[in-house]
Amino acid sequence: MTKPKRSIDFSAIDTYRDNIAQSEPLKSLSPLEPVNDLPINQLDPAPWNARRYFDSEQIKLLGQDMLENGQIHAIMVRPTENGRFEVVVGERRLRAAQVAGMPTLKANIRQLTNREARRIGLSENLQRQDLNDYEETIGWLDLLSVELEPLPEFKLLCQQNNDIRVVVAKILNRYQNEFRGKTKIYNNVIVNPNHFIMGSPIESKILEVFQNSHHITWESFVTNRLPILSLPQDLLDVMQRGELEYTKAKELSKIKDPKTRADLLERVLQLSLPLTQIKTLVSQAQKALTPAPPPSFPKLRPRVQTIAKQIDTLPAKKRQQAEALLNQLERLFST
């Protein structure tokens, strides 16, 4: 069963418009401690890492390289509890070391809050070019939620929906609509009473986050990345594993029948089919799934009108036969 969509009341933000509380900037981060050799069995991956999928073969190769050539770059960790450490930057190296059987990893220890750790880890991962489209989309939504978290307007919207990523996505879509929408000019000042994102601290944070990116803008993200979240779950699962590009997944999503889509998806993955061939197969599948049009009949209205005029001229016996046939027609339309 499809879950009902919960709308977000953006007009509630107007409550804060006249007297808005600005978010407090993050305090200066604690300095890096000297590099330490930490036991592998005391290191835990962070639950918020932007990278969801790790290629087992690539991890194995990296581990072998670390064994032969040593660890070039230290990972960054923060102390948690019971003498353990959470990996803020470097989960891929942690996994490689585990596979290779290395006893320790070189690590920089830093005292970080949850928000600081998420901010550093997500920012570092999003600057990489090897995240797949799904990971990148989720990573940006998570980073935006970290930056928007202190704002009272954002907290208000989060009270209306528990899924923070959904809230951020709706904010971005709303912002784009406002950005592209019609405005009114009064006394040479642009006025639009429906602008709840533009001109607010939320807009400032969105622009600030994407200004630090060298390969994507907020407009590009909303147009080319957010639609990923509306894809069917079977396609999202494959994208998350890095086995299917967004352009191919988008084309496959045009097939609404789950069984047909699953069969074609399996074929695409097995044969590594290019996008042009996928488009052809999708078109063929859509035609096969389209029900045949009902058989066409000659236009009956003129015939019925002609018969209606002739009934009164029939002799009594034929008129009785005609009335019996009309009764059959009436019963046909009533069932």
List pLDDT tens digits, range 33-58. 668 899 999 999 988 877 777 878 88
Lowest mean pLDDT among 8-17, 39-48, 134-143, 308-317: 8-17
- Residue 33 has what pLDDT? 65
Report residue 172 as tokens: 């971005």
Say whether pLDDT at 113 is over 80: yes
311: closest CA among 326, 301, 322? Answer: 322
Is 91 catalytic? The answer is yes
Tokens of 132: 């797949």
Average pLDDT, the chain: 82
First to last CA, the chain: 32
Q: What distances in angstroms separate CA 50 from CA 28, 131, 147, one per listed residue?
A: 24, 8, 15
Kindly report the pTM of this predicted structure.
0.68
pLDDT tens, residue by residue, 312-322: 788 888 888 88
Q: What is the pLDDT of residues 53-67, one digit of tens each?
A: 787 888 999 999 999
pLDDT at residue 131 in the model: 81
Is a pLDDT exceeding 50 seen at residue 22? no
Q: Is it the case that residue 303 has pLDDT exceeding 70? A: yes
**Between the ranges 26-30, 116-120, 177-181, where is the mean pLDDT highest?**
116-120
12 burial type by CB count under 10 A (0-12 exposed, 13-18 middle, 19+ buried): middle
Residue in 86, 91, 136, 153 annotated catalytic: 91
Query: Is the pLDDT confidence value at 189 over 60?
Result: no
What the chain holds in terms of domains, given with CATH numbers, is 1-29+120-230 (no CATH), 36-111 (3.90.1530.30), 231-292 (no CATH), 301-334 (no CATH)
Q: Which of 130, 133, 125 is nearest to 227 (CA)?
A: 133
pLDDT (tens digit per residue) in 150-167? 998 888 888 877 788 999
pLDDT category of residue 282 using cuts at 50, 70 and 90: very high
